[in-house]
């Protein structure tokens, strides 16, 4: 399906990860009694904070959680509109998976009760040692599907889902949004219902990605369109360092970077420690590609033979530079 970068839509995802409760199965789980029993009603992260409990209390917590989830599974109903969404996903042959904090037994039981055929990949808290919002759970699921996180969409109904998506460098859409102002910084997309999401899948719109929303607020969508068609040549000595320069340029919407054929040596890494240490010894092009992928997945890295505009070495000068280029481009147009 074609679309105009850097804008996108959930319809353009190469894979979709679905939360379970509230997204596919409506189980109406109420954890308040468990929070009261084990955490004194504190709004604890039930699974993560279990390590603070004594062993016997931790075991009791897990038993109570499973019992609650199994009761909900036996009374489960399909979320309105999920049949149409899953039908669209299957008809477009998009890989999908379920990623849940629930126990596996409750997912299987609810799936039988709501007559949903589960995908090949289903991840529960019984699989491995990580659960959302730990990005490891999502990254491992992407590996199983064979799709990069930057091309993957996570659908969820709670803040943990959006935090997990952001940490994993993937897209996230909140469905059936609650009124929680402190969630706003984490949100890229939100839909009031599965029916609304389905309408977006059928008739995609050009949505501004999370990483470009600030530049669009400041300069507008046409500026972003222009910037994304622009390739900048990486200066020989970017200030204050390579990573800060790249982030500033990419945050302005620059769509491509021409990078010399060089190595990220240990000495170079010392000056640019925002690169993962594992990138030492790699080609600079590959290190930059890895750095940008989780932050600005629509930005590309070109070899030294690529055509690019010579840009200021000082990152503080890039906004004025790009604004001048855009104004000149509009004048010529």
Residue-level pLDDT, tens digit, the chain, 333 residues: 445 889 999 999 999 999 999 999 999 999 999 999 999 988 888 998 999 999 999 999 999 999 999 999 999 999 999 999 999 999 999 999 999 999 999 999 999 999 999 999 999 999 977 899 999 999 999 999 999 999 999 999 999 999 999 999 999 999 986 768 889 889 999 999 999 999 999 999 999 999 999 999 999 999 999 999 999 999 999 999 999 999 999 999 999 999 999 999 999 999 999 999 999 999 999 999 999 999 999 999 999 887 899 999 999 999 999 999 999 865 444
Q: Provide the greatest CA pair distance for the chain.
A: 73
Angle at alpha carbon of residue 76, lines to 70 and 82, rounded to 5°: 130
> What is residue 330's predicted lDDT score, i.e. its pLDDT?
54
Neighbours of 60 (CB within 10 A): 15
| 76 Cβ contact partners less than 8 Å away, ≥ 6 residues apart | 25, 26, 27, 109, 110, 113, 114
> What is residue 1's predicted lDDT score, i.e. its pLDDT?
43
What CATH architecture is 213-328?
3-Layer(aba) Sandwich (3.40)
CATH code of 10-28+75-202, in short, is: 3.40.50.1000
Return the bridge partners of 173, or none: 155, 189
> What is residue 3's predicted lDDT score, i.e. its pLDDT?
55
> What is residue 242's predicted lDDT score, i.e. its pLDDT?
97
Report domain extents, the chain: 10-28+75-202, 213-328
**Strands (E) located in the chain:** 15-18, 25-26, 77-78, 96-99, 121-123, 152-156, 171-175, 189-191, 231-233, 256-258, 300-302, 309-310
The pTM score is 0.91
> What is residue 306's predicted lDDT score, i.e. its pLDDT?
77
The answer to whether domain 10-28+75-202 and domain 213-328 are alike in fold is yes
Using alpha carbons, select from 190, 189, 176, 202 the residue that is nearest to residue 23. Answer: 176
Q: How many residues would you count in the chain?
A: 333
Distance, in Å, from the CA atom of 222 to the CA atom of 105, rounded to the nearest integer, reads 50
> What is residue 93's predicted lDDT score, i.e. its pLDDT?
97
Torsion 247-185-102-79 (CA) sign: negative
The phi, psi pair for 210, rounded to 5°, reads: -50, -45
């Amino acid at each position: 399906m074609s679309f105009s970068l850097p804008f996108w839509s959930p319809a353009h995802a190469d894979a979709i990860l679905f939360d379970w409760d509230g997204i596919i199965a409506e189980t109406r789980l109420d954890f308040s009694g468990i929070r009261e029993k084990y955490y004194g009603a504190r709004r604890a992260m039930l699974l993560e904070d279990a390590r603070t409990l004594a062993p016997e209390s931790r075991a009791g917590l897990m038993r109570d959680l499973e019992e609650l989830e199994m009761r909900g599974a036996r009374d489960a109903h399909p979320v309105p509109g999920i049949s149409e969404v899953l039908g669209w996903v299957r008809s477009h042959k998009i890989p999908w998976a379920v990623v849940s904090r629930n126990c596996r037994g409750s997912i299987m039981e609810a799936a039988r009760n709501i007559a949903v055929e589960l995908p090949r990949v289903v991840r529960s808290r019984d699989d491995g040692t990580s659960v959302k919002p730990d990005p490891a759970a999502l990254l491992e699921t992407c590996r199983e599907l064979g799709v990069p996180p930057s091309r993957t969409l996570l659908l969820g109904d709670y803040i943990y889902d959006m935090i997990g998506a952001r940490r994993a460098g993937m897209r996230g859409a909140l469905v059936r949004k609650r009124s929680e102002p402190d969630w706003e910084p984490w949100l890229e997309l939100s839909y009031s219902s599965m029916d609304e999401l389905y309408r977006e899948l059928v008739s995609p719109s050009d949505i501004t990605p999370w990483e470009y929303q600030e530049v669009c607020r400041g300069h507008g969508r046409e500026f972003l369109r222009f910037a994304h068609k622009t390739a900048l040549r990486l200066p020989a000595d970017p200030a204050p360092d390579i990573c800060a320069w790249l982030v500033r340029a990419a945050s302005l919407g620059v769509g491509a970077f021409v990078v010399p054929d060089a190595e990220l040596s240990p000495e170079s890494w010392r000056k640019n420690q925002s690169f993962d240490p594992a990138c030492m010894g790699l080609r600079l092009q590959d290190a930059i590609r890895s750095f940008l992928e989780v932050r600005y997945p629509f930005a590309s890295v070109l070899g030294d033979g690529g055509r690019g505009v010579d840009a200021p070495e000082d990152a503080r000068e890039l906004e004025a530079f790009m604004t001048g280029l855009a104004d000149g481009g509009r004048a010529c147009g």
